[in-house]
């Protein structure tokens, strides 16, 4: 479980910090991130793909606290963005502009102008109209930029949830691969937009290397064709999607992905093309947890519910994608002690009870786990929801007027508050009434 481990006495720790003392200081619900996990995942991911020296652009749609982004930027990471707001946060975290890539099917004129002014590295373009619009704004500003065309290679991972598949024909992203040749013929010699790359992102998460293999084969043959046609191809961006471990919390085996991906891209790297990768959750998911407290235990029909002080407003993934996050109490008796190595052993899972773990929101979809085997829970118990560092806080809301949680970053023995817990007062932000003339 990376840096989230139980002491022999049964107390969960993040790095060197005892979770009980942390909660005493900061309270719950609380997002807790391990700085060492972030750094370690980035370094090991980079190492796995070293043979093609990719520009790794961490996808901050997974987790956009600037203090965490900064940890990766300091190691040389670039950033994958999809909005003006994300470009702003990336810049606030000191990301060099030329290491920022910018995708998204709905780039507004204001966002495009902002990205041009900042001088970002690569625009990933998603449609003909968008190309023309970017070219028009770049011409006004007399700026020449680099761009890659996002194509949908018609490859998916069957296990990817329908709501997060993107590589299929007919998806709203990019252009169908058959249209890509015509796209380059029409726009390949633009004065302001140097269309010199191909981009894919086939979905999230992708569990095995196979879909990457199929998609990369398709786009490398497209690149071969375009090169033959006289286009100077400089960039190949294979997007994100690399999975995270939602059950045991162990780091994914990036080497297994690299073993398949590297040989396919190496010839293009050797020819001088730059490889870009946009990993998100594979770096951040297992680097963060959501700590919550049991408010009530109650019965309903044949079920037993643990009502906790967090829910779909703080972690939407179970309600939205039926996602299953491993969870376990913050303090356990020795017989329920787990680590990544012994979690499946019978002695740890004996004597468990079944719970639906639910939140306080007035919707039946507000649940975090259904029929989950857990050690007996009671009011006041701490519960840790693992693998919550990606698509957790970023997708949170104030639904039911519940303030958002605080965020802390642990680095060895040090605790940093990196986002204040919201207060009732925050529910009034921007609500000053004023007449518009």
Residue closer to ligand LLP, measured from CB, 158 or 431: 158
Alpha carbon 315 to chain centroid, angstroms: 13
Task: Among 86, 278, 381, 407, indicate the residue that binds ligand LLP (CB under 6 A).
Answer: 278
Q: Candidates 69-77, 197-205, 338-346, 354-362 — which segment interacts with ligand LLP by CB under 6 A?
A: 197-205
Cis peptide, bond prior to residue 332, ω within 30 of zero: no
Q: Are 204 and 191 in contact (CB under 8 A)?
A: no
**CB nearer ligand LLP, residue 240 or residue 359:** 240
DSSP class of 242: B
Q: Is 282 in contact with 41 (CB distance < 8 Å)?
A: yes
Q: Please tell me the number of Cα atoms within 13 Å of 48 on its side-chain side.
A: 21
What lies within 8 Å, CB to CB, of 257 at 6+ separation is 48, 209, 212, 242
Would you list the DSSP string of 141-152?
HT--EEEEEEEE
Strands 414-419 and 327-329 turn out to be: unpaired
CB nearer to ligand LLP: pick between 52 and 277? 277
How deeply is 346 buried, as exposed, middle or buried, from its count of CB atoms within 10 A (0-12, 13-18, 19+)?
A: exposed
Rounded to 10°, the helix 66-73/35-48 angle is 40
Helix (H, G, I), strand (E, B) or coil at 165: strand
Residue 205 binding ligand LLP, by CB under 6 A: yes
| Closer to ligand LLP by Cβ: residue 61 or 99 | 61
Q: How far from 265 is each of 216, 219, 251, 269, CA to CA, in Å?
A: 8, 10, 24, 6
242 is an interface residue for ligand LLP by CB under 6 A: yes
x-or-dash string of contact with ligand LLP, 328-367, rule CB under 6 A = ----------------------------------------
Residues 137-176 that bind ligand LLP (CB under 6 A): 164
| Binding mask of the shown chain, residues 85 to 114, with x at each position contacting ligand LLP by CB under 6 A | ------------------x-----------
Q: How far apart are CA 166 and CA 171, in angstroms?
A: 6
Determine if 280 is a binding residue for ligand LLP (CB under 6 A).
yes
Q: Is residue 237 at the binding interface for ligand LLP, with CB under 6 A as the rule?
A: no
Closest separation in Å from C-beta 241 to ligand LLP: 4
Judged by CB under 6 A, the residue of 139, 321, 324, 363 near ligand LLP is 321
Q: Is 241 in the site for ligand LLP (CB under 6 A)?
A: yes
> Which residues are part of the catalytic machinery?
362
Nearest to residue 375, comparing CAs of 405, 411, 399, 350? 350
Q: Which listed range, 68-76, 174-182, 274-282, 372-380, lies at the site for ligand LLP (CB under 6 A)?
A: 274-282
Closer to ligand LLP by Cβ: residue 163 or 335:
163
Q: Between 15 and 278, name the residue whose CB sits nearer to ligand LLP.
A: 278
- Nearest residue to ligand LLP by CB is 280
Using CB under 6 A, pick the residue from 281, 325, 336, 372 that binds ligand LLP. 281
Binding residues (CB under 6 A) for ligand LLP: these are 59, 61-62, 80, 103, 164, 201, 204-205, 239-242, 278-282, 317, 321, 390-391
């Amino acid at each position: 479980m990376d840096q989230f481990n139980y002491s022999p006495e049964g107390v969960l720790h993040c790095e060197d910090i005892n979770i009980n003392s942390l909660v005493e200081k900061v309270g719950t619900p609380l997002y807790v991130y391990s700085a060492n996990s972030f750094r370690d995942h980035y370094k090991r991911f980079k190492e796995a793909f070293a043979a093609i020296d990719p520009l790794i652009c961490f996808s901050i749609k997974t987790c956009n606290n600037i203090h965490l982004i900064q940890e990766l930027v300091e190691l040389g990471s670039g950033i994958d963005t999809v909005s003006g707001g994300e470009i702003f946060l990336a810049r606030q975290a000191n990301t060099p502009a030329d290491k920022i890539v910018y995708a998204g099917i709905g780039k507004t004129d204001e966002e495009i102008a902002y990205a041009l002014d900042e001088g970002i590295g690569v625009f990933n373009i998603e449609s003909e109209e968008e190309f023309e619009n970017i070219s028009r704004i770049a011409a006004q500003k007399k700026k020449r930029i680099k761009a890659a065309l996002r194509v949908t290679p018609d490859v998916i991972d069957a296990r990817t949830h329908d709501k997060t598949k993107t590589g299929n024909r007919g998806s709203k992203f990019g252009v169908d691969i058959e249209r890509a040749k015509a796209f380059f013929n029409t726009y390949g010699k633009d004065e302001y937009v140097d269309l010199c790359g191909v981009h894919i992102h086939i979905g999230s998460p992708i569990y095995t290397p196979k879909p990457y293999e199929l998609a990369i084969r398709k786009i490398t043959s497209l690149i071969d064709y375009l090169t033959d046609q006289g286009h100077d191809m400089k960039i190949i961006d294979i997007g994100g999607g690399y999975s995270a471990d939602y059950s045991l919390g162990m780091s994914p085996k990036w080497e297994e992905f690299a073993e398949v991906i590297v040989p396919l891209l190496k010839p293009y790297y050797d020819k001088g093309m730059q490889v870009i990768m946009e990993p998100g959750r594979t770096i951040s998911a297992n680097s963060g947890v959501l700590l919550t407290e049991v408010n009530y235990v109650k019965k309903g029909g044949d079920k037993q519910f643990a009502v906790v002080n967090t829910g779909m407003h703080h972690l939407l993934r179970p309600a939205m994608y039926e996602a299953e996050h491993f969870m376990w109490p913050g303090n356990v008796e020795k017989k329920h002690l787990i680590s990544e190595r012994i979690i499946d052993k019978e002695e740890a899972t004996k004597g468990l009870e079944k719970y639906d773990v639910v939140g306080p929101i007035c919707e039946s979809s507000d649940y975090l786990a259904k029929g989950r085997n857990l050690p007996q829970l009671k009011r006041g118990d701490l519960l840790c929801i693992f693998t919550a560092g990606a698509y957790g806080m970023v997708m949170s809301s104030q639904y039911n007027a519940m303030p958002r949680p605080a965020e802390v970053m642990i680095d060895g023995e040090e605790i940093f508050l990196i986002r204040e817990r919201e207060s009732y007062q925050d529910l009034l932000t921007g609500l000053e009434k004023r007449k518009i003339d």
